[in-house]
Structure 1
Amino acid sequence: MIAFLKGLLRINRKKQKETKKDRIMVDLETLGTGPGCIILSIGAISFDPETNSTGRHFYMVINTESCLAYGLAVNPETLHWWEQQNHEAQEVLRQANDYKTSVSIKFALNEFNKFISQHRDPEVWGNGADFDNTILAYAMTKCDLVPNWKFWNNRCFRTLKNMFPSVKMNRIGTYHNSLDDAETQAQHANILLKKLSGVEA
């Protein structure tokens, strides 16, 4: 009987492993606050609350002129906001205006889709239900691309974070660098998802 139950447990663990979804945290730096705005950079990193770890990462700076060519636009208020940020954060603006340090929007989105496809049925986490994921999906439509993740796998990090306002987020690297912000959010999500499941990190 015990051997039978152990066998069932092994089968159950195997099924859980086979059906487990990967998680990816995405962060964008943009020249707007909604779909249709210019994307300056895409940062993303996989994360796993079970092991409290982060994994593969993705980062690309996108050429501003290529965004304009596909009909994406600048929001003047967001541009003014960028002018108030520190020198390190503003580096992405300089890179996005130089073809030597940036890539076209379509190339970046294609490469991001390839990054997504390296993961198992991934949940894609953005910082706001109406920000990163919706901006990415709209830009892909403008570039005649289809997102490589299912819409029902969209997740909102901001909602998760607001469920645990007393848990301090430890910032990594440069604030408003999309990869640094993605890693910061991913590590914080690892802690919060463990709390949500009743397991302390």
Structure 2
Amino acid sequence: MNHIMLDFESMSTEHNAALIQLGAVEFDPVAGELGREISINIDLTSSVDAGLHVSPSTILWWLGQSNEAQKTITDVKGTSLAQALLEFKMFYQNACANASHDKGSHIWANGPRADLNWLSSACIAVNMKPFWHYSCDKCVRTIVELGRAIGIDPKNENQFDGVEHCALDDAKFQARYCMEIWEKLTRI
């Protein structure tokens, strides 16, 4: 599959947010199918030790989320930030082995200032060279806006399956509504 949907849970909304959970799923927007997935809880201390940012307002936001969402980040011991990034790099490289795009698999995420930026900042913080080509960055918010322009809004109309603010569940939901929009756009 040539596309990966990435979602992070974090303790900030700054460009260098401290990461606490990574979720990603491969998807094929043409076939409308999800593929392999990865979910990693990240040790907050390792993110902070790497110099990533924690925001009191984000901590307070997390305290207002559902018990289920809070448990997804507290019930499983997190791995180090460096190890989590290495595991995601291997996941990505495996997807690239089958990519038709000569620069690698496309990585989709919410906005250029959020998840993809956090991934870059985290890589730099642990002295890991970013492992994907910049032309592979794809924006979920842009395709959602295009969907609205043609009269569909599956992000807000579809039922969420799973636990909101669990990175993997969020990534799968995002991939599903992006595939739905993609399918409609390709029929125009």
TM-score higher than 0.5: yes
In 2: Cα distance, 1:147 partner to 1:183 partner: 23
Q: Counterparts of 1:44-63 in structure 2 under 5 Å?
A: 44-63=24-43
Structure of greater Rg: 1
RMSD: 1.4
Where in structure 1 are there 5+ consecutive unaligned residues? 1-20
- The residue identity in structure 2 corresponding to 1:141 is I
In 2: Cα distance, 1:49 partner to 1:25 partner: 11
In 1: Cα distance, 2:154 partner to 2:182 partner: 14
**TM-fit CA distance, 1:35:** 2.0
**TM-fit CA distance, 1:77:** 0.9
Q: Percent identity?
A: 30
**Partner SS for 1:27:** strand
In 2: Cα distance, 1:134 partner to 1:116 partner: 16
In 1: Cα distance, 2:39 partner to 2:140 partner: 19
**TM-fit CA distance, 1:167:** 2.4
| Cα contact 1:25–1:44 (8 A) shared by 2 | yes
**TM-fit CA distance, 1:162:** 1.7
Counterpart residue number, 2:181 = 192
In 2: Cα distance, 1:172 partner to 1:161 partner: 18
**TM-fit CA distance, 1:172:** 1.5
In 1: Cα distance, 2:6 partner to 2:116 partner: 8
In 2: Cα distance, 1:34 partner to 1:45 partner: 24
Q: Normalization by structure 1: what TM-score?
A: 0.83
In 2: Cα distance, 1:46 partner to 1:35 partner: 25
In 1: Cα distance, 2:3 partner to 2:147 partner: 20
Alignment pair present for 1:70 and 2:50: yes
Q: Normalization by structure 2: what TM-score?
A: 0.88
In 2: Cα distance, 1:186 partner to 1:41 partner: 18
